[in-house]
A and B are shown apart, each in its own frame.
Chain A
């Protein structure tokens, strides 16, 4: 068998151990030299963590006691090399008294926007008819978890909500 191969290659050994080792070393070095910069270049945008920010929603006094209000926001976010507006809304409820609760409008099922139905005092999700009560607890339909409660603070009478991403 081996003899046949040797004949086919003109009497030379068909595998050249030193040559092959050289290939491994050279290929490895080339790969490292070119690959490390390229890999770093490719990976580094992934290291950026999404940040959050306090968004001003105006005077708390504008919220009526006991009512759930839709508050819209728009802010600019730098996504890699492009600055883009992020738009959306949150639900805020004032009362009883001075207490304020801010809830995300994102359905915990598959992320549609839930809508407040004042007549029935529930949040309704248009996508798969998930229903949440006024506190954001799921009542019926697919959602299993309550609407996310967003961190907020009141500064100089203005409602500030912490929004991520």
Chain B
């Protein structure tokens, strides 16, 4: 090559690189919050793993609705990915650990279900694009006639072509088995558009047919794998109610062992010093049609909801956010 042509090479390369840099700098200044999942070599082994320091924390604001209307909450979220898996770490203040979920209590005479719900956190991603979810968040998944009471509104997508991936960690019903319920969202059926993934899981109600007392107790032959909770797989039917004494508590909704696509999201949690710390782990791509498959090249919209000892309508909701992957 002669000098002239060499010159061209250099100039073109310089221009091309300058171009890349110029284009990169301001890029799209995001009005939305962006959670960047950091690429790490060593997967985090737990809630206090040093690797979490590599992940930039995102302070996500939440607005309360219904019972919590006018109130605010905040969750600190971090994420890393490594090998085949993605990890999320959530930390939020909560004055009380709530895991009652209507557990039975014996007062020496009678059984009664205690007041008290459970703490939960949930995430919604898109499997197939949900119209305007990226800009409006979970509000687009709320459907009902304008004059219908709130109770009759349905949590669903607007059409069968839109599909959400719902991660739902429940302190009393999924956490004892160290997982978060894995569901998906589609058009409303009779009730909601919420479906659970392929496989088994969920919980079983512990109640006699006359609804007056629990039907099951811990099987004495099995070791309790989740202290404080009665797991469906460790329960036996109660034959003699005389063994109970005043103050005894028995789980009402017994967690069932998850399997198949319902067991995709593993959880590790701790309640201490007035706050929950929770780690969720999932394969980037589970290969299941009812899960969002993460591609590290791409950005994803997601939104979260927080339930503080409350039922479905009473929650704190985040706005839509972006999940991006570090390189």
Direct contact of A and B (CB under 8 A): yes
Chain A residues close to B by CB (< 8 Å): 76, 78, 82-85
User: Which residues of B come within 8 Å of A, CB atoms?
Assistant: 128, 160-163
Q: A84: nearest residue on chain B (CB-CB)?
A: B161
Contacts of A76 in B (CB 8 A): 160-161
A101 to B163, CA, bound (A): 34
**B128 and A78 form a contact (CB under 8 A):** yes
- In the complex, besides A83-B163, A85-B161, 10 extra interface pairs with C-beta distance below 8 angstroms are A76-B160, A76-B161, A78-B128, A82-B161, A83-B128, A83-B160, A83-B161, A83-B162, A84-B161, A85-B160
CA distance A76 to B128 in the complex (A): 11
- Bound Cα distance A41, B128 (Å): 22
> Contacts of B162 on A, CB cut-off 8 Å?
83
* Closest 9 A/B residue pairs (Cβ): A83-B161, A83-B128, A76-B160, A76-B161, A85-B160, A84-B161, A78-B128, A83-B163, A83-B160
Q: Which residues of B have CB within 8 Å of A78?
A: 128
| A–B pairs, 10, beta carbons within 8 Å | A76-B160, A76-B161, A82-B161, A83-B128, A83-B161, A83-B162, A83-B163, A84-B161, A85-B160, A85-B161
A contact residues around B163 at 8 Å (CB):
83
User: In angstroms, how far is the closest chain A Cβ from the Cβ of B198?
Assistant: 12
Q: How far is the CB of A50 from chain B (nearest CB, A)?
A: 15
Q: Once the chains are docked, how many angstroms separate the CA of A76 from the CA of B127?
A: 13
Docked Cα-Cα span, A15 to B172, in Å, equals 84
Q: Nearest Cβ in chain A — how far from B140, in angstroms?
A: 17
Which residue in chain A gives the minimum CB-CB distance to B128? A83
In the complex, residue of chain A having the shortest beta-carbon distance to the beta carbon of B186: A76
A85 to B162, CA, bound (A): 12
Which A residues touch B128, using CB under 8 A?
78, 83
User: What residues of chain A lie closer than 8 Å to B160, measured between beta carbons?
Assistant: 76, 83, 85
- CB-based A-B contact count at 8 angstroms: 12
Chain B, residue nearest A82 (CB) = B161
Say how far B30's CB is from chain A's closest CB, in angstroms: 24
Query: CA A82 – CA B128 in complex, angstroms?
Result: 9
Specify the chain A residue showing the minimal Cβ separation from B161: A83
State in angstroms the CA–CA spacing of A78 and B160 once bound together.
11
State how many angstroms separate the Cβ of B15 from the closest Cβ of chain A. 19
Residues of B within 8 A of A84 (CB): 161
Shortest CB distance A69–B (Å): 24
Taking the closest CB of chain B, its distance from the CB of A83, in whole angstroms, is 4
Report which residue of A76, A82, A84 has the largest number of chain B beta carbons within 10 angstroms of its beta carbon.
A76
- The smallest beta-carbon distance between B161 and chain A, in angstroms, is 4
B163, closest chain A residue (CB) = A83
Residue of B nearest to A53 (CB): B289
Q: How far is the CB of A75 from chain B (nearest CB, A)?
A: 9
Could you tell me the distance in whole angstroms from the C-beta of A48 to the nearest C-beta in chain B? 14
Q: Chain B nearest CB: distance from A76 CB in Å? A: 5
State how many angstroms separate the Cβ of B120 from the closest Cβ of chain A. 29
Q: Which of B161, B162, B163 has its CB near the most chain A CB atoms (within 10 A)?
A: B161
The residue of chain A having its C-beta at the shortest distance from the C-beta of B129 within the complex is A83
Chain B min CB distance to A49 (Å): 16
Contacts of A82 in B (CB 8 A): 161
Q: Shortest Cβ distance from B188 into chain A, in angstroms?
A: 15
Nearest CB of A to B128, in Å: 5
Q: CA of A83 to CA of B128 in the docked complex: distance in angstroms?
A: 8
CA distance A84 to B161 in the complex (A): 6
CA distance A112 to B146 in the complex (A): 44
Q: Give the nearest-CB partner of A76 in chain B.
A: B160
A85 contact set on B, CB distance < 8 A: 160-161
In the complex formed, the residue of B with least CB distance to A83 is B161
B172 to chain A, nearest CB (A): 30
Chain B residues closer than 8 Å to A83, beta-carbon distance: 128, 160-163
Q: Tell which of A78, A82, A83, A84 has the most Cβ of chain B within 10 Å.
A: A83
Residues in A neighbouring B161, C-beta threshold 8 A: 76, 82-85
When C-beta atoms are compared, the residue in chain A nearest to B159 turns out to be A83
A14 to B163, CA, bound (A): 66
B231 smallest CB distance to A (angstroms): 25
A82 to B160, CA, bound (A): 12
Alpha-carbon gap, A76 to B161, bound state (A):
7
B58 to chain A, nearest CB (A): 30
